[in-house]
Amino acid sequence: MPAYKAPLRDMRFLIDHVFDFPAHYAALGATEASPDMVSAILEEGARFCENVLAPLNRPGDEEGCHFDNGVVTTPKGFKEAFAQYVGGGWHGLAADPAYGGQGLPSSLGLVLSEMIGSSNTSWGMYPGLTHGAMSAIHAHGTAEQKDTYLSKLTAGQWTGTMCLTEAHCGTDLGIIKTRAVPQANGSYAVTGSKIFISAGEHDMSENIIHLVLAKLPDAPAGTKGISLFIVPKFLADSGARNGVSCGSIEHKMGIKASATCVLNFDGAEGYLIGEANKGLNCMFTMMNHARLGTGMQGLCLGEASFQGAIKYANDRLQMRALTGAKAPEKPADPIIVHPDVRRMLLTMKAFNEGNRALTYFTAQLLDTAHLSDDPQQRQQAEDLLAFLTPICKAFMTETGLEVTNHGMQVFGGHGFIREWGMEQLVRDCRIAPIYEGTNGIQALDLLGRKVLGSQGKLLRGFTKIVHKFCAANAEHPQLKAQVAQLNELNQQWGELTTKVGMAAMKNPDEVGAAALDYLMYSGYIIHAYLWLRMALVAQAQLDAGQGDADYARGKLATCEFYFKRLLPRTSAHRAAVEAGSDCLMSLPAEMFAL
């Protein structure tokens, strides 16, 4: 298994120079997030992930979770690692101090989440789902519900889940069958079955708090009739076991150490959170948190794969370079001299570092939306988050899967063998484009709801940022060609959107046909903007003789590779968008059969 090393240099480059986290925190009044505090979190978080979580990753995959008559046991060492994590105060890093948290900005929690996900994705699912449950209860719960649940969840004594999916419906939540019947004491009897519930049952905490979507007896049809309920495994007041049980755990392709459960609710006592029939609105607080976390899994697993691939490419000897021997004292050259291996490694590097920049850019927006005293700033941040969230989830997981596949390919036949660990990263990453709303659903959300649904307002919120950036750097001595390329694509983005919108007015299928290619097209442009922001800083450091010159040159070289070899993919995605829906929808369904 590749040995994980937290990429602190790249993290600090973004935090200190590209996005200037110290100034960002100062502007939001987050004085507790001092440079010393941030540095300590990076150093200690890296130590925990490298020394505690990473060594459990492959054994956890080999062992998996155990199911015995409703009882789920996590792999050896997982429970102890969680106790160490909680004992170190990591679980409450960005949580509300009123409930025992440290109150640090959300962005620092995401930085820590990256290291956790890279070192052990399966383990990271357990605290990750809990943070989402905490967000939903904090945003929509009553004062009593917050007092009852948040302190225990923040302390890690209890963990949380979200329970949406049922066997007969995946994303189409409007047809769920789980019911909640009002009781005389003000609670509800919740009955139904949920599937694919991550961390739905395990041995790592004393209690598990399930957030469950269900319908009231008089609920309207469809999504307008969904309510959200808190259903604890053990009742908070009496400690009695509630009517919820684990029927089985799934046998999965990857993330085998994360318990994916079938949960059966048999008249379980639940408590309405938020308004009746408004449960989907409440759940979206948790789902958006989960979608950002899922997008990060593409970055996390891609980073782990790159670290394994770059070491192997420098060590593995095979053939001679086409331009002559590079290591004549050895029987063959290391494979990193070969152009095709370079292509794979640079693709991995470009996507990983671009996705990290996208994560940190989005993290700052989360801080602003939560902490700013300026209503206009908060609204602008929330609009940008609404636009970027489906892109983060889908683009980062699609590219993350490409990166892990490249990592396995660099190893050749050895990549296909379990002992090297590269195939596990591919398996673990494959679920990310599927769950928390498939990438096709994310694309529909982006194009249909966020872009066309806002009459282009949310898109313009981002393209204006890019336009101002390009105008300010149009004459940059070294980067003006890339700036011009970005500026042209930014203009084309709006034109393509208008074209799709006009076609959709005549045929709604045009949105579905264009959506995924439109999302990927958008992601490549966003990466280009972020790569230029990184390149500007790297070039300025070189010009001033500051920082690590080799690191800065590496950034500039990777930026050039991105613009020359990856950004041109936008042309293919644009062509696919413009091809329309006829070539997809003209073939009758019965003609697909053999």
- Are β-strands 158-163 and 207-214 bridged in parallel, bridged antiparallel, or unpaired? parallel
pLDDT of amino acid 592: 87
Q: What b/e sequence results for 322-333 when a residue is b if at least 16 CB atoms lie within 10 Å of its CB, and e otherwise?
A: eeeeeeeeeeeb
Which residue intervals of 120-260 are DSSP H helices?
121-140, 143-155
What span, in angstroms and rounded, lies between the C-alpha atoms of 182 and 198?
A: 27
What span, in angstroms and rounded, lies between the C-alpha atoms of 561 and 350?
A: 8
What span, in angstroms and rounded, lies between the C-alpha atoms of 521 and 519?
A: 5
Contact yes or no for 84/116 (Cβ under 8 A): no
Residue 331 is which amino acid?
P
Contact yes or no for 156/127 (Cβ under 8 A): yes
- Are β-strands 188-198 and 244-249 bridged in parallel, bridged antiparallel, or unpaired? unpaired
Both 273 and 171 in one domain: the answer is yes
Sequential DSSP letters for 427-465: HHHHTTTTSSS-HHHHHHIIIIIIIITTTTHHHHHHHHH
Both 145 and 216 in one domain: the answer is no
Sequential DSSP letters for 24-65: HHHHTT-TTS-HHHHHHHHHHHHHHIIIIIHHHHHHHHHH--
Sequential DSSP letters for 250-304: ---SS-TTS-EEEEEEEEEEEEEESSTT-HHHHHHHHHHHHHHHHHHHHHHHHHH
Both 71 and 98 in one domain: the answer is yes
- Please indicate, yes or no, if residue 397 is contained in any of the structural domains: no
Using alpha carbons only, how large is the chain's radius of gyration in Å? 24
Contact yes or no for 356/10 (Cβ under 8 A): yes
Instruction: Kindly state the tokens that stand for 12.
Output: 């600090």
What span, in angstroms and rounded, lies between the C-alpha atoms of 2 and 305?
A: 8
Domain C-terminal end among 207, 242, 277: 277
Both 463 and 528 in one domain: the answer is yes
- Please indicate, yes or no, if residue 173 is contained in any of the structural domains: yes
- Tracing tokens 């979206």 back to the chain, one arrives at 284
- Please indicate, yes or no, if residue 181 is contained in any of the structural domains: yes
- Please indicate, yes or no, if residue 297 is contained in any of the structural domains: no
| Residue of 303, 423, 436, 510 marked active site | 436
- Please indicate, yes or no, if residue 322 is contained in any of the structural domains: no
166 catalytic, yes or no? no
Instruction: Kindly state the tokens that stand for 483.
Output: 């700036």
Domain C-terminal end among 128, 155, 182: 155
CATH number for the domain that contains residue 190: 2.40.110.20
Q: Cα–Cα distances in Å, from 583 out to 509, 510, 516?
A: 11, 11, 15
- Please indicate, yes or no, if residue 270 is contained in any of the structural domains: yes
Assign 411 to helix, strand or coil: coil
Which residue intervals of 477-508 are DSSP H helices?
480-506
Both 544 and 456 in one domain: the answer is yes
pLDDT of amino acid 170: 78
Sign of CA dihedral 344, 345, 349, 355: positive
Both 455 and 578 in one domain: the answer is yes
Residues 6 or more apart whose CB falls under 8 angstroms from that of 495 comprise none
Residues 6 or more apart whose CB falls under 8 angstroms from that of 343 comprise 565
Domain C-terminal end among 216, 250, 277: 277
Both 48 and 103 in one domain: the answer is yes
Both 174 and 73 in one domain: the answer is no
Domain that holds residue 516: 442-584
Contacts 24+ apart (CB under 8 A), 42-45: 42/6, 42/8, 42/11, 42/12, 42/111, 43/8, 44/88, 45/6, 45/90, 45/111, 45/112, 45/115, 45/116
Contact yes or no for 466/490 (Cβ under 8 A): yes
H or E segment to which residue 196 belongs: strand 188-198
- Please indicate, yes or no, if residue 221 is contained in any of the structural domains: yes
Question: Nearest to residue 270, comparing CAs of 207, 186, 157?
Answer: 186
Residue 310 is which amino acid?
I
Percent of the chain as helix, strand, coil, to the nearest 5: 60, 10, 25
Residues shown for the chain: 594
Instruction: Kindly state the tokens that stand for 351.
Output: 């996507």
Both 448 and 479 in one domain: the answer is yes
Number of domains observed in the structure of the chain: 3
pLDDT of amino acid 427: 98
Both 39 and 50 in one domain: the answer is yes
- Are β-strands 227-232 and 207-214 bridged in parallel, bridged antiparallel, or unpaired? antiparallel
- Please indicate, yes or no, if residue 422 is contained in any of the structural domains: no
Both 142 and 248 in one domain: the answer is no
Residues 6 or more apart whose CB falls under 8 angstroms from that of 549 comprise 541, 542
pLDDT of amino acid 545: 96
pLDDT of amino acid 332: 96
> Which residues of the chain fall short of a pLDDT of 70?
1
What span, in angstroms and rounded, lies between the C-alpha atoms of 577 and 560?
A: 26
The Cα angle at residue 535 between residues 534 and 541, in degrees rounded to 5? 95
Both 520 and 462 in one domain: the answer is yes
Contact yes or no for 229/191 (Cβ under 8 A): no
The Cα angle at residue 484 between residues 479 and 485, in degrees rounded to 5? 100
- Tracing tokens 């929690």 back to the chain, one arrives at 109
pLDDT of amino acid 522: 98
DSSP state of 563: I
78-87 helix and 54-63 helix, angle to the nearest 10 degrees:
150
DSSP state of 17: I
- Are β-strands 260-273 and 188-198 bridged in parallel, bridged antiparallel, or unpaired? antiparallel
Contact yes or no for 282/140 (Cβ under 8 A): yes
Q: Give the pLDDT confidence of 514-531 residue by residue, as tens digits.
A: 999 999 999 999 999 999
Contact yes or no for 53/119 (Cβ under 8 A): yes
